[in-house]
Amino acid sequence: MSGNNPASRPQRFPLQLGKVGGSSAGGAAGSAREVLMPQRHLREAAQDAARQLAPSGLGLDSAKVRQRMVQRLRRDGLHDERVLEAMARVPRHEFVDSALATQAYEDTSLPIGHEQTISKPSVVGRMTALLLGGQSARRQGHLGRTLEIGTGCGYQAAVLALLSQALVSIERLKPLHDKARLNLAAVQLSQVSLVYGDGRLGWSKGAPFDSIVAAAGGDDLPEAWLAQLAPGGRLIAPMGAPGGRGQVLVCVDHVTEAGASRFVRSEYEAVLFVPLKSGVM
């Protein structure tokens, strides 16, 4: 079943978590500071971040647990307040198996079944912040129309949705597609269209996209992704490094100058993602 097959029906959900992406960069950052640092003395905030109490039991549903994760991410170098605010809103423990819920706010990847994982919070934050640095995102103040390759359990889709005008997320494994649908419905998140299909084909029905992000890595960037990237758009994906040196984060910008269009590629730090595969299962 192809990702572009008309039989693939996107599912949508009512928005409840609130939308971050419609604000300008400056306005969003100011709003985020109010949410994440509510009138506390800076010394108290630093002490709270230093304690980093491990979440357990019933405390998992507390916003304070997510704020501690956000404070750790900020301390470790993630400074885009729009991303931090979105991650403070999404209950990551709702997207992992109950047996692993106490590890949900640690900076670690976790298994979600079918030989797939949920990415580390720091990796989700890093890739989202890089997307927001694209030309279209800087101009609009949000990710615009976003395509995610590899829905997994739906956690990164939830974060991206809060920063996007609209999000299409494709998953090739039917059990994970179904799991993500239930997870996103449980947190009542809108702005998301889920597609069961081959992510290497992208989603031509919704193209062009201002932002494209992949949660699986290969040795090449599918031509379909580049064809579906809007002028001024940015693509972030893990790719094999030259010489077989593992994977690195690759950024591709669709640049237009004087009527000419070209793709500009940049490479960032080493990462480790599951392999990018074709077809559906």
CATH number at residue 30: 3.40.50.150
Q: 257: pLDDT confidence band, cut at 50, 70 and 90?
A: confident
Give the tens place of pLDDT for each residue, 19-58.
Answer: 444 433 333 333 323 223 233 333 343 334 333 333 334 4
3 part of a folded domain: no
Instruction: Give the pair of three-digit tokens for residue 225.
Output: 């992704």
Domain assignment of residue 214, yes or no: yes
The answer to whether the beta carbons of residues 198 and 3 sit under 8 Å apart is: yes
In a domain, 13, yes or no: no
Structure confidence by residue, pLDDT tens digits, 48-85: 433 333 333 446 767 889 999 999 999 999 999 999 99
> In this structure, is residue 276 part of a structural domain?
no
- Phi/psi at 179 (5° precision): -65, -45
Provide the residue range defining the domain that includes 110: 25-271
Residues 194-246 have pLDDT tens digits of 999 999 999 999 999 999 999 999 889 999 999 999 999 999 999 988 777 78
Q: Which of 20, 11, 12, 9 is nearest to 190 (CA)?
A: 12
Instruction: Provide the mean pLDDT of the chain.
Output: 83
DSSP 167-190: EEEEES-HHHHHHHHHHHHHTT--
How far apart (Å, rounded) are the C-alpha atoms in residues 53 and 42?
18
Q: How many domains does the chain have?
A: 1
**Domain-located, residue 225:** yes
Q: Residue 156 falls within a domain, yes or no?
A: yes
Q: What does pTM read for this prediction?
A: 0.80
The answer to the question of residue 30 being in a domain is yes
Structure tokens, 137: 């995102």
Positions annotated as catalytic residues are 119
Q: What is the mean pLDDT of residues 88-100?
A: 95
| 34 within a domain of the structure (yes/no) | yes
Query: What is 25-76 written as a DSSP string?
Result: HHHHHHHHHHHHS-S--HHHHHHHHHH-PPP-GGGGG-HHHHHHHHHHHHHT
